[in-house]
Structure 1
Amino acid sequence: MNEQIRVREVRVISPEGEQLGIFPTHEALRMAYERNLDLVEVAPQARPPVCRIMDYGKYKYEQSKRDREARKRQRIVDVKEVKMRPRIDQHDFEVKLRNARRFLQDGNKVKATIMFRGREIVHADLGRQVLERLARAVEDIATIERRPVVEGRNMTMVLAPRPQVQAAARREATEARPTDGDAGPASAPGGGEPRST
């Protein structure tokens, strides 16, 4: 920016975005100073480097404003875990399925884990069947992001919410978020939701 530009000549772009041509750096600086603006290098890798005449302070402010807006729109996706055993009872499976559906509908990914004990690992096919049964039960709202894989004494599979489910969860989150003027309900200390079930 300005005197920090150390090349002989630069391609100059006006504040309106028009290409003015290639000028010696000192001439481009003079043009910027005449308008009470800055000469900012926007493409240093180009030959010759491209510089734009602009109000640098205003540019930085606009950029930080855009970044804040982007962060506001961005939603952090958590990975929730559902742990099961290879010989899980029907009722227990239904409870885990309900939890997995709730996590997916909230827009989070679900890591389904089958925990093997002792020699149960020999029957990895039982664990795979449980994971596939879970995947079939949520296929209307989720896709398999990572197929079942054995990791030590566990077998894991990752399910991701379908795009339309994520969009609905994002809409709900923005509608439920209190506006700046409203004070949201205070949550009790330690009242957060556990990460795994």
Structure 2
Amino acid sequence: MTIISKEARVNEDIRAKEVRVIDDRGEQLDIMPIRDAIQIARERGFDLVEVAPNAKPPVCRIMDYGKFKFDQSKKDKEAKKKQKTIQVKEMKLRLGIEDHDFKVKAKNIQKFLGEGHKVKVTIMFRGREMNHPEIGRALCDKLVEFLSEYTSVERMPKHEGRNMIMILAPKNV
């Protein structure tokens, strides 16, 4: 079946004076004035739909436009269901994080990556900690090393205001 754009012109909306007509069985009829083509379509109980507006002369097809739009919306919904959305989860860490807390957060990140999500890791700085971004980078490196078999770094750690942000993506994506 011919793919028709969302803004297809139908019946009286077609602007050309003459059109090449394809009937509802897919057979080419002829080049004819637009009035005659619309009349043939109506006699058969269908609509005249412009399928190739840039051709010389434009190509129109005789079809049930309402049924076509309905089928097209069903296909669009089906395609949307199959489409997988990737969410970005966020995990916040502090510079003075204890080893056990680090492992718990790393395991949560591992779970998110296993589900196919990207993870935004935010290292938060307070007060004098702002003078030591190398500690934040070391924490990011430790996290990447801990999760090396599950993740790849999509965005390297970057200092933004009072935070250092790194984005991790699942390895299989």
Q: Same fold (TM over 0.5)?
A: yes
Q: Any gaps of 5 or more consecutive residues in structure 2?
A: 1-9
Alignment of structure 1 residues 32-71 onto 2, 5 Å: 32-71=41-80
For normalisation by structure 1, the TM-score amounts to 0.73
1:6 maps to 2:10: no
CA distance in 2, matches of 1:89, 1:121: 19
Give CA deviations for 1:85-144 in whole Å, capped at 9, x if unaligned. Answer: 123322121111001011111222111000011121222122122112222322322222
* Aligned equivalents of 2:108, 2:145: Cα separation in 1: 15
Question: Aligned residues, how many?
Answer: 164
**For residues 112 and 21 of structure 1, do their structure 2 counterparts lie closer, same or farther at Cα, with a shift above 3 Å needed?**
farther
Alignment partner, residue 150 of structure 1:
159
Aligned to 1:89: 98
Cα distance in 1 for partners of 2:88, 2:18 equals 52
Q: Structure 2 matches for 1:104-143, cutoff 5 A?
A: 104-143=113-152
Q: 1:15 and 2:24 equivalent?
A: yes
Mean CA deviation greater in 30-39 or 90-99: 30-39
| DSSP-derived class of the 1:143 partner | strand
Secondary structure of the corresponding residue to residue 107 of structure 1:
coil
Among 74, 86, 96, the alignment partner of 2:83 is 74
Distance 1:138 1:5 in 2: 60
The structure with more radius of gyration: 2
> How far is 1:148 from its partner?
1.5
Q: Is the 8 A contact 1:44 1:50 kept in 2?
A: yes
Superposed CA RMSD in Å reads: 2.2
User: Are the structure 2 counterparts of residues 154 and 21 from structure 1 closer, same or farther at C-alpha, using a change threshold of 3 Å?
Assistant: farther
| C-alpha distance 21-131 of structure 1, shift in aligned 2 (>3 A) | farther
Distance of aligned partners of 1:76 and 1:14 in 2 relative to their CA distance in 1, 3 Å threshold: same
Q: Displacement, 1:20?
A: 4.6
Q: Measured at CA, do residues 17 and 150 of structure 1 come closer, stay the same or move farther in structure 2, by a change above 3 Å? A: farther
Aligned-partner Cα distance in 2 for 1:138–1:17: 57
Give the TM-score of the pair, scaled to structure 2: 0.81
Asked whether 1:161 is paired with 2:170, we answer yes
Distance 1:136 1:3, change over 3 A: same
